[in-house]
Structure 1
Amino acid sequence: MKIKVLIADDNSFIREGMKIILTTYEEFDVVETVNDGLEAVDYCKNHDVDVALLDVRMPNMNGVEATKLLTEQTKTKPLIITTFDDDEYILDAIKNGAKGYLLKNNDPERIREAIKSVFNGNTVMQDVVLEKIKSNLTENKPESKINTSLFTDRELDIMAQIAKGLSNKEISKQLYISEGTIANYITSILGKTGLSHRTQIAIYFLTGRVNG
C-alpha cells in the first residue's frame, strides 16, 4: 500500500519539483499538489491523504494554520517543509500538531525518510529546528508547559536537560548521576508519556503536547 501524499506550496517550481522527486519512490503516491493551506485542508477533508507536506508562507492560509485544521478535522498528518526556520513558525507549528518540521535544503532521501517516519506515527524534527527551540529557553531551567505532578523531581530535571539538547553523558556531569541511571529515568518518562524517543521528550517538555 502506497503512502498518499499531498504537496502544498505556492511556488509551482518547488511544488512540481517535489512531486517529481517523490514519484520516483515506489512507496509514495502524490495524490494532489495545491497552492495554499486552504486548498490543502479542503482536499484532505474530502479525500484520503496520509501525509501533507506544507510550506509555511502561503497565501489565503499558511502552513501553520493549515496544520491546526488538518489535525482537528482530518486524519492527515502534517509535515512542515520550508525554507524558513523562524522561531515563531516552528513553535506554532508544533503546538498546532505538526508531526515534523524540515527545511527544503535537505536531500531527497532525508525527506523520503521523514515522510515514512511521520506516516508510521513518529515525530521528525531537524537539528536546526531543535536549536531554534533551545534558543528560546532561559539560560537556566526552561519553562515547562507540562503537568509536573506526573513526574518526580529528578525526572523533571532530566527532561529539562534533554530540552536543552544535552546528551546522557552531559546530563550525567550536570546532575552527578550515572548514565545508566539517566537511561532508566528516560525509560520511565517514555512510559508515562507514551512517547518513543528523546526528541519527543524535548518537544513535550517545551510545548506540553504529546505530539507523535
Structure 2
Amino acid sequence: MDTIRVLLADDQRLVRAGFATMLSVEDDIEVVGQVTNGQEAVDFAASQDVDVVLMDVQMPVMDGIRATELVTAEGRGKVIILTTFERDDYLFDAIRGGASGFLLKNADPEDLVAAVRAVAGGYALLAPEVTVRVIQQFASQLGGRNSPPAQRQPSPEQQQKQALLAPLTQREKEVLTCMAAGLSNAELATKLSLAEATVKSHVSSLLAKIQVRDRVQAVVFAYESGFIRPGE
C-alpha cells in the first residue's frame, strides 16, 4: 500500500506536534508538512503531493473553511476538519466546501489514524458527536422554513433532489435514515440485522442513486431534499 501523505494545518504548535506524534508511528502514514494558516495549507497542497489535510477551522490569514474549498476544488487532497465545536456554524459550511470528514481534537490516537486511512481510501467520516451538531446547526439554519408539510411548497432544487430519491429501495431509505442519524456501518448492520458487507453494498448503491460522493454529502442531501426534517 502506498504511504498516505498528510498535511497538518493548525495555528497551535502543540496541537500540530501532538497529531504529528500520533501519526508518525504508523508505517503507512507520513506527515509531509505542517502549516499555521489556511493560505499556507492551500499553497502547500498546490506545490506538494498531499493525500489528506487535517484542517483546523479557526486560523489566521485564511480560515479552514475557505482553505477546504480551495484545496478540494483543485483536487489537491481530501480534507478532515478538526473541531472543538467552538464554532458550530462552520461545520455545515465545511461540508458544502468539500470536507470528507470531521474529527474532534480530543479523539483517541487510533481514531485519528483510522480517520486518515478511511478518508485516504475514498470514504467519508463523521464522528457521531459531530453528526448531531451538524444536524442541530442545519435545523437552526432552516428556522422558520419548517412550516407544516401541507403548507410547504418544495423549491425547484428540492424537487430535483426528491426525484433522485424515487429509485431508492425501502432498505436503502432505511440506510439513508440511519446514516443521517450518524450511525456507522457496524451500527447500521446491528440495527437493521444485516451483514456489514451488505450494509456497505446498500450504502454504495444509494450514494450512486442520489449522486453524492460520500456519506457526508448523503447526510446533507437527506436534509436538503426534505427526506429527513430537523426534529424528526
Structure-1-length-normalised TM-score:
0.76
Q: Which residue of 2 aligns with 1:152?
A: 166
Q: How many aligned residue pairs are there? A: 195
When residues 42 and 196 of structure 1 are mapped into structure 2, their CA distance, relative to the original with a 3 A threshold, is: closer
Higher mean alpha-carbon deviation, 43-52 vs 184-193, is at 184-193
Q: Does 1:205 align with 2:219?
A: no
Question: SS of 1:147's equivalent?
Answer: helix
Aligned counterparts of 1:83 and 1:132: Cα–Cα separation in 2: 11
In structure 2, distance between residues paired with 1:206 and 1:147: 10
What is the CA–CA distance in structure 1 between the aligned matches of 2:148 and 2:213, rounded to whole Å?
26
One-letter amino acid of the structure 2 residue matched with residue 83 of structure 1: T
AA in 2 matched with 1:130: T
Q: Which amino acid aligns with 2:44?
A: Y
What does residue range 111-190 of structure 1 map to in structure 2 within 5 Å? 111-135=112-136, 136-137=138-139, 147-152=161-166, 158=173, 161-162=177-178, 165=181, 189-190=206-207
**Aligned pair in 2 of structure 1 residues 188, 54: CA closer, same or farther (>3 Å)?**
closer
C-alpha displacement of 1:72:
1.0
Contact 1:163 1:206 in 2 (8 A): no
Residue 153 to residue 108, structure 1, CA distance change in 2 (3 Å): same
Q: CA deviation at 1:46?
A: 0.6
Output one character per residue of 1:13-65: Cα deviation in whole Å (capped at 9) or x when no partner.
Answer: 11112112211111111100010110010010011000000111000011111
- 3-state SS in 2 of match to 1:206: helix
Q: Report sequence identity in percent.
A: 32
SS state at 1:129 partner: helix
Matches within 5 A, 1:15-164: 15-84=16-85, 86-135=87-136, 136-137=138-139, 147-152=161-166, 158=173, 161-162=177-178
TM-score computed with the length of structure 2 as normaliser: 0.70
Aligned to 1:193: 210
Pairwise CA distance, 1:83: 1.7
Q: Structure 2 regions of 5+ residues with no counterpart?
A: 140-145, 184-191, 226-232
**Structure 1, unaligned runs of 5 or more:** 168-177
SS at match of 2:69: helix
Whether the 8 Å CA contact 1:5–1:52 is kept in 2: the answer is yes
